[in-house]
Amino acid sequence: MASTTRNRKIPQASNESGTISASASDSDVSIEPLVNERLAKQIQKEFWFRLRHLPSKITRTVGPVGLCLLSLWGLLIYTNHYGPLGYWAAFISWSTDYRKQFTETSFARNLGLNSPALNPYSLWRGVVVISVSTSATYLCIALLALRHELFHWKPEMLEKYLHDAKSSFLGRFVSDSWLSYLFNVYESNYAKRTRDRIQNRDHRATDDHRELAQVVRSLTLVQLVSVLVVFAMWMTLLQTGFESHDVMNLPNSFVPPVQILTWHLIGDTFYFFPHYIAHTPRGSKGIHHRVLPSFLADSLGSFLRNAHKTHHRSKANLAIAAWYCSVTEQVLFNLFPTMLGPVVTQIIADKTGHAKIWGTHLITLYIWLLAATATSVLAHTGFRTSWNDPGKHDEHHEFAFGTNAVNFGTAGFWDTILGTKGVKYIEGAKKWQEQRMRQAALHIASARTGIPLTRAQQLVVEQPMVDYEWIDRRVED
Ligand SMILES: [Zn+2]
Ligand SMILES: [Zn+2]
């Protein structure tokens, strides 16, 4: 495969201690690279260097979704205490106007969607807005990631797309240099310095159009099923007096963080156990064997393993394949654990008479569902960036159905308690980050000393080669 060949040609970067293995071509100038190495070590300790890399360090620690949630929380605090920003009221007004326009179309009239029974807080806000916004989030992130993924897995495909774009009708109106820049933006930013993808495998889905078509078909089906499940969640919420409080008023500042943490914990619990059981190898005993009669535990294991097989056809992850799974898995593993939290807290708040403060708010529900969707896609990108590290779930896919399978949860709560947390991704991320910092410092050192970097100094240490098989044969039993 072209991309593999390309990676194989790249020599290993210098080892972690920072010493250079002098090659024949380097021997004449063997002292000069060491000058840059020594200076780079000092640069990494400099205050300005650390300050410059602080934002990416914070983003990486909190994650892009966490950062968005924290920013939204900041906006909520500001709006509640200092002055309304009006973004929520504007959204409701915009959404209501759009719904009115939509229900007046002949398409909506023919479907009976202009019925007064749907006003004002029913299917539009509960099903259409949620389904459209989550699907759009999924698609946007997956397509943005696909650009980067193609760069890693199928660079020649990008060349073909560039050529097609230049010769297309629209392409004639855009200058060649702009198109080249757009298609090569990652190359110019990353190619010289990094090899970001975590697993060194070719990706069959970017290589074989039938595999990709299968992913797209499966995605379409699970998206349609998701609409029905969202409908069921919405109907359940409406039974609890969900909209008894004024939805236009934003929740108290302290409520969304508590609710989202609680929902995260509930989600982790109801995702972890079926997922863990699905990964218990056939014939071995998992924790479900301790609480269930043997035949029932075995049947449950087989049922969940079969439901989860499709998702693990990818050993090397691809963002668009995040929800590449069976319908059973989509409902049991993805939707149910995510939607249970908002429903449960709403029921409890309602029954205990605290719905006004602790009831599930529409905006918190929207943000939670969007955050869960984004997290799921970002966990499957299969490459590290300075702001997103999907190593944890990547390690899960790498060792999927083997005896050394790890990382079954989302929040990591149960993985920590039951000792199923992997460490490879933590070590990988640390090593990758150290290398990035070292390279950034080396570039500064080179600019200061005027000594050019060696080829080895320009490259990140590559991830170990495992195999190139994209299909996971361990699930074919
Ligand atoms: Zn799994
Ligand atoms: Zn996955």
**Residue that wins the pLDDT comparison between 198 and 56:** 56
Q: Is residue 259 part of a domain?
A: yes
- DSSP string over 229-277: HHHHHHHHHHHTTTTSS-TTSPPPTTHHHHHHHHHHHHHHHHHHHHHHH
Q: Which of the ligands is closest to the CA of residue 274?
A: 1
Task: Tell me how far the alpha carbon of residue 326 lies from the centroid of ligand 2, in angstroms.
Answer: 12
Give the confidence band of 159 by pLDDT, cuts at 50, 70, 90: confident
Task: Tell me how far the alpha carbon of residue 71 lies from the centroid of ligand 1, in angstroms.
Answer: 31
Task: Tell me how far the alpha carbon of residue 394 lies from the centroid of ligand 2, in angstroms.
Answer: 8
**Residue that wins the pLDDT comparison between 352 and 30:** 352
Return the pLDDT at 153: 63
Task: Tell me how far the alpha carbon of residue 148 lies from the centroid of ligand 2, in angstroms.
Answer: 19
Give the confidence band of 338 by pLDDT, cuts at 50, 70, 90: very high
Q: Is residue 61 part of a domain?
A: yes
Environment class of 311 (CB within 10 Å of its CB; exposed 0-12, middle 13-18, buried 19+)? buried
Q: Which of the ligands is closest to the CA of residue 316?
A: 2
Q: Is residue 103 part of a domain?
A: no
Highest mean pLDDT: which of 214-218, 309-313, 366-370? 366-370
- Write b or e for each residue in 272-287: b if 16 or more Cβ atoms lie within 10 A of its Cβ, otherwise e: bbbbbbbbbeeeeebe
Return the pLDDT at 287: 85
**Residue that wins the pLDDT comparison between 27 and 92:** 92
Q: Which of the ligands is closest to the CA of residue 319?
A: 2
pLDDT for residue 9 is more than 60: no
Return the pLDDT at 85: 84
Task: Tell me how far the alpha carbon of residue 401 lies from the centroid of ligand 1, in angstroms.
Answer: 8
Task: Tell me how far the alpha carbon of residue 417 lies from the centroid of ligand 2, in angstroms.
Answer: 21
Q: Looking at 228-232, 265-269, 389-393, 433-437, which range is the least confident one?
A: 433-437
Task: Tell me how far the alpha carbon of residue 2 lies from the centroid of ligand 1, in angstroms.
Answer: 29
Task: Tell me how far the alpha carbon of residue 181 lies from the centroid of ligand 1, in angstroms.
Answer: 38
pLDDT for residue 34 is more than 50: yes
Instruction: Please state the rounded mean pLDDT for residues 154-173.
Output: 79
Q: Which of the ligands is closest to the CA of residue 325?
A: 2
Task: Tell me how far the alpha carbon of residue 409 lies from the centroid of ligand 2, in angstroms.
Answer: 11
Q: Is residue 8 part of a domain?
A: no
Q: Which of the ligands is closest to the CA of residue 322?
A: 2
The span from the CA of 162 to the CA of 413, in Å, is 45
Environment class of 51 (CB within 10 Å of its CB; exposed 0-12, middle 13-18, buried 19+)? exposed
Task: Tell me how far the alpha carbon of residue 350 lies from the centroid of ligand 2, in angstroms.
Answer: 35
Task: Tell me how far the alpha carbon of residue 400 lies from the centroid of ligand 1, in angstroms.
Answer: 6
**Residue that wins the pLDDT comparison between 242 and 329:** 329
CB atoms within 10 A of CB 63: 18
End-to-end CA distance of the chain: 28
Q: Which of the ligands is closest to the CA of residue 323?
A: 2
Q: Which of the ligands is closest to the CA of residue 317?
A: 2
Q: Write out the residue range of the structural domain in which residue 49 sits.
A: 29-85+121-139+212-475
Return the pLDDT at 1: 34
Instruction: Please state the rounded mean pLDDT for residues 127-139.
Output: 94
Return the pLDDT at 16: 37
**What percent of the chain lies above the pLDDT cut of 70?**
82
Task: Tell me how far the alpha carbon of residue 393 lies from the centroid of ligand 1, in angstroms.
Answer: 9
Task: Tell me how far the alpha carbon of residue 311 lies from the centroid of ligand 2, in angstroms.
Answer: 6
Return the pLDDT at 200: 64
Task: Tell me how far the alpha carbon of residue 375 lies from the centroid of ligand 2, in angstroms.
Answer: 11
Domain tally, the chain = 1
pLDDT for residue 11 is more than 50: no
Task: Tell me how far the alpha carbon of residue 365 lies from the centroid of ligand 1, in angstroms.
Answer: 26
Task: Tell me how far the alpha carbon of residue 333 lies from the centroid of ligand 1, in angstroms.
Answer: 10
- What does the pLDDT look like over 357-395, one tens digit per residue? 899 999 999 999 999 999 999 999 888 877 888 888 988
Q: Is residue 394 part of a domain?
A: yes
The span from the CA of 346 to the CA of 358, in Å, is 7
- What does the pLDDT look like over 38-61, one tens digit per residue? 899 999 999 999 999 898 888 888
Q: Which of the ligands is closest to the CA of residue 379?
A: 2
Q: Is residue 298 part of a domain?
A: yes
The span from the CA of 39 to the CA of 453, in Å, is 12
pLDDT for residue 138 is more than 90: yes
411 touches 264 (CB < 8 A)? yes
- What does the pLDDT look like over 445-455, one tens digit per residue? 988 888 888 87
Task: Tell me how far the alpha carbon of residue 376 lies from the centroid of ligand 1, in angstroms.
Answer: 12
Q: Looking at 173-177, 186-190, 214-218, which range is the least confident one?
A: 186-190
Q: Is residue 408 part of a domain?
A: yes
Return the pLDDT at 13: 37
Q: Which of the ligands is closest to the CA of residue 305?
A: 1
Task: Tell me how far the alpha carbon of residue 397 lies from the centroid of ligand 1, in angstroms.
Answer: 7
- What does the pLDDT look like over 428-441, one tens digit per residue? 788 778 877 888 88
Task: Tell me how far the alpha carbon of residue 393 lies from the centroid of ligand 2, in angstroms.
Answer: 6
Q: Is residue 307 part of a domain?
A: yes
**Residue that wins the pLDDT comparison between 4 and 458:** 458
Task: Tell me how far the alpha carbon of residue 258 lies from the centroid of ligand 2, in angstroms.
Answer: 27
The span from the CA of 121 to the CA of 109, in Å, is 18
Give the confidence band of 353 by pLDDT, cuts at 50, 70, 90: confident
